[in-house]
Amino acid sequence: MKTLPGRRTRILAVTTATAGLMLVSVTVSGCTSSDDGGSGSKTAAGGVELVKAGQLTTCTHLPYPPFQSEIDGKVQGLDVALIDLVAKDLGVKQEILDTPFENFKTGAFLNSGECDLAAAGMTITEERKKNVDFSDPYFEATQALLVDKGSGITSLADAKSKGVKLGAQAQTTGEDYAKGQGFDPVSFESSDAVLSGLRSGQVKAVVIDYPVVQGWLKTKANADAFEVADNINTGEQYGFTVKKGNTKLLAAIDKALTDARADGTYKKLYEKWIGPYDETAASPSAS
């Protein structure tokens, strides 16, 4: 998945404050205060230390449906729902910060105490493991080549042979893969921008995580206009991240994932946000 050169750091000041699920309405620096105005201890169940009392603070980068995006005034998606399970086990509520994706690669917001964890449909890579600790993998991801219907493009190799202008989300594994295949892709800041680039004709094809494309194609207008020309298995697995050495929170995340698979909760969430249950994609082996 993605990383982004430092642009904005947006606290989720969207109108989800009334949704009861989450929203941080303070400045980023407020997350590093010594306590939370008397709201209680920063030590949650299981001895997990939190950056802010009474809440599990999650860094993400919006939008990235179906893993996290704003829907009907609140942030929702598979990642959000899974981390809600962790928060429930800890006896707190999840709060979400929308941040530049470069922070997930470097672990900057985890190290500075702005967030407890990062959840952003993020691929586990050896490079990223140098800066953060990953949870067990929770999703097996592939890349998709999305094109205009009637484009005549049948595969990534075909796009290359035809000199097609390709787009991808900036600093994502999809962009890295395209570059590795000899493309010089147009970089877009967000997944929405990728789709807009395809719609406007700025690019003729895009490479991006297949679950994102699945979400796009649920909309009739998108399904009428675009099609998947190629599904590319790059062996990617998604994981959540914590600050290196935060073993108690990591254990809590892994336990919530294990329990959700065991009691059927994961399957229900997968079917709600992704589509028909694919046990292979949903239950990747730990790397």
Domain CATH code at residue 22? 3.40.190.10
Cα torsion at 212, 217, 220, 222 (round to 10°)? 80
The answer on 272 and 214 residing in a single domain is no
The answer on 78 and 147 residing in a single domain is no
122-177 per-position pLDDT tens digit: 989 999 999 999 999 999 888 999 999 999 999 999 999 999 999 999 878 899 99
Inter-CA distances, 80 with 14, 33, 168, 200, Å? 16, 24, 24, 31
Q: What does the pLDDT read at residue 189? A: 87
Spatial separation of the C-alpha atoms in residues 238 and 139, rounded to whole Å: 5
The answer on 131 and 32 residing in a single domain is yes
Q: Which of 236, 255, 273 is the last residue of a domain?
A: 236
What is the number of structural domains in the chain? 2
Q: For residue 287, name the pLDDT band (cuts at 50, 70, 90).
A: very low
Residue 1 falls inside a structural domain: no
Cβ atoms of 136 and 250 within 8 Å: the answer is no
Residue 287 falls inside a structural domain: no
78-111 per-position pLDDT tens digit: 999 999 999 999 999 999 999 987 788 889 999 9
Residue 221 falls inside a structural domain: yes
Q: For residue 68, name the pLDDT band (cuts at 50, 70, 90).
A: very high
Residue 5 falls inside a structural domain: no
The answer on 132 and 75 residing in a single domain is yes
The answer on 206 and 81 residing in a single domain is no
228, pLDDT greater than 90:
yes
Q: Which domain holds residue 165?
A: 141-236
The answer on 262 and 209 residing in a single domain is no
pTM for the model stands at 0.74
